[in-house]
A and B are shown apart, each in its own frame.
Chain A
């Protein structure tokens, strides 16, 4: 897994960026909770194989939540949510959804076997990896998305790398640090809690801390401006 702390760090930057001056401690705390909690799908692993990076890392649930939020707050005459929370928290909820999809799901999408993006509609782990380059000889070349034409049927298939299904993919995590079959036989279980697995992840973690500290040091604008 991309460490939860790294997600939290990047989430802080994006959340502060989207909220601007409305980013106070309570709003940021609530957003962090939304971003970090889906990581608990690792706990479901032992009873529902392949749950990690599936249940909490699908895009289907956040999109469904977004549609419900939109319908309730914009389309209905008497919003159930507006009756219960201040408008500000509806904005925070929107930001939390965007931050979860970018700082959590999308980052994990680029790491190891990726995430089960459209579970439960479609059970397939996909991973985003590649590069975009430009050269005088070839122009723009990208390798993120495959565009393949099936020679037999003539159908075009567009998509990122598919790494397997819930049954075949296991992404190691502290709850299940290895493939369940290997774990059953292991004598010692080494549970590893990563802070940062690579330099760039440490960077994103540091970027989040920097943003929070910098915002604390900033002086409020004078009243007349």
Chain B
């Protein structure tokens, strides 16, 4: 199990990278929260011996959510989400979904005891933990995919049973387990604090920024972008600082 703090840091990194103009405190809180839910849900299920909680780590919920989002925002005449929360709502929903699956579930797939990807169709926890390299003597060496003798349907290493340990709640709670997790946590915290401090996060309108950059004074910079709206002007000034 990857500690919740690591899920949160990965969710924070995804929020900063994917939210775009929807990036603000509220949206980041939602996306980071989405990253933490699957791990905590599954841990609670394991601790309480509640096997069905394994479903929060299966692929079905994210697939269903993606389908609902797609139908609502792309195929329906009037999207409920867009009418109520606008472009921002749609963006935050997609990023939160990505965060729940990519920052919330996926890290556990690469760590013991793995993720029950196809639960409840089968009770097998899958793990992907091996190496992939090219050797000048042996060619491509990989131990990620396994042959046919695994318990599950997918060609990945797996163990039978999803309930895990049932010894009750663990006595020690891991906050950070290894060096790389410490780096991920520190990087996530640094990225979010720099973004909230107004560093980076400029606009995609590169040409305008470049034109602004060629003039020397700050007052002129503000002048050049004045036409594009007040909120953006503040962003540019923050970036120029």
- Chain B residues lying within 8 Å of A17, measured Cβ to Cβ, are 13-17, 191, 195
- Chain B residues lying within 8 Å of A133, measured Cβ to Cβ, are 172-175
- Chain B residues lying within 8 Å of A55, measured Cβ to Cβ, are none
Which residues of chain A (131-177) have a CB below 8 Å from chain B?
131-138, 140, 144
| A210 CB, min distance to chain B CBs, angstroms | 6
Please give me the residue from chain A that is nearest to B16 by CB atom. A17
B200-A88 in contact (CB<8A): no
| B219 CB, min distance to chain A CBs, angstroms | 14
Inter-chain CA distance A145–B175, complex, in Å, is 15
The answer, yes or no, to whether A182 is at the interface (CB within 8 Å) is no
- Chain A residues lying within 8 Å of B210, measured Cβ to Cβ, are 86, 88
A residues contacting B by CB (< 8 A) are 3, 10, 13-14, 16-24, 82, 86-88, 91, 94-95, 98, 102-103, 106-107, 109-111, 127-138, 140, 144, 188-200, 202-203, 206-207, 210-211, 214-215, 218, 220-222, 225
- Chain B residues lying within 8 Å of A199, measured Cβ to Cβ, are 109-111, 127-130, 144
Tally chain B residues at the interface, Cβ within 8 Å.
70
The listed residue (B23, B88, B132) touching A195 by CB distance below 8 A is B132
The 6 nearest A-B residue pairs measured at CB: A110-B179, A199-B110, A17-B16, A20-B201, A87-B213, A199-B129
Please give me the residue from chain A that is nearest to B141 by CB atom. A192
A22-B209 in contact (CB<8A): yes
Inter-chain CA distance A144–B94, complex, in Å, is 36
| A214 CB, min distance to chain B CBs, angstroms | 6
Inter-chain CA distance A86–B182, complex, in Å, is 35
Inter-chain CA distance A218–B97, complex, in Å, is 14
Please give me the residue from chain A that is nearest to B103 by CB atom. A207
- Chain A residues lying within 8 Å of B204, measured Cβ to Cβ, are 21-22, 24, 220
| Number of residue pairs spanning A and B whose beta carbons lie under 8 angstroms apart | 206
B183-A134 in contact (CB<8A): no
A192-B194 in contact (CB<8A): no
SS class, residues of chain A in contact with chain B: mixed
Given contacts A13-B13, A91-B200, A136-B171, contact A195 B134 (CB under 8 A): yes
Inter-chain CA distance A128–B216, complex, in Å, is 44
Given contacts A20-B201, A82-B216, A128-B179, contact A203 B107 (CB under 8 A): yes
Given contacts A109-B183, A195-B134, A197-B131, contact A18 B191 (CB under 8 A): yes
Inter-chain CA distance A110–B176, complex, in Å, is 13
- Chain B residues lying within 8 Å of A218, measured Cβ to Cβ, are 18, 20, 91, 94
Q: List 5 A-B contacts (CB under 8 A).
A: A13-B17, A17-B16, A22-B209, A133-B175, A225-B87
Given contacts A20-B20, A22-B206, A195-B134, contact A210 B190 (CB under 8 A): no
A221-B87 in contact (CB<8A): yes
B110-A203 in contact (CB<8A): yes
Interface code B76-112, partner A: CB below 8 Å = 1, 0 otherwise?
Answer: 0000000000111001001000100010001101110
A190-B107 in contact (CB<8A): no
The answer, yes or no, to whether B150 is at the interface (CB within 8 Å) is no
Inter-chain CA distance A21–B13, complex, in Å, is 14
- Chain A residues lying within 8 Å of B187, measured Cβ to Cβ, are 10, 14, 102-103, 106
B195-A18 in contact (CB<8A): yes
Please give me the residue from chain A that is nearest to B110 by CB atom. A199
- Chain A residues lying within 8 Å of B213, measured Cβ to Cβ, are 86-88
B17-A107 in contact (CB<8A): no
- Chain A residues lying within 8 Å of B136, measured Cβ to Cβ, are 189-192
B131-A198 in contact (CB<8A): yes
A88-B209 in contact (CB<8A): yes
- Chain A residues lying within 8 Å of B134, measured Cβ to Cβ, are 192-193, 195
B131-A194 in contact (CB<8A): yes
Interface code B208-224, partner A: CB below 8 Å = 1, 0 otherwise?
Answer: 01101110100001000
Please name 7 further chain A to chain B contacts, defined as beta carbons within 8 Å, in addition to the given A14-B191, A133-B175, A221-B91, sorted by A numbering.
Answer: A21-B202, A22-B200, A94-B199, A188-B137, A192-B133, A202-B144, A221-B20
A225-B21 in contact (CB<8A): yes
The listed residue (B111, B190, B214) touching A102 by CB distance below 8 A is B190
The answer, yes or no, to whether B178 is at the interface (CB within 8 Å) is yes
| A120 CB, min distance to chain B CBs, angstroms | 24
- Chain A residues lying within 8 Å of B182, measured Cβ to Cβ, are 110, 128, 130, 132, 144
A21-B102 in contact (CB<8A): no
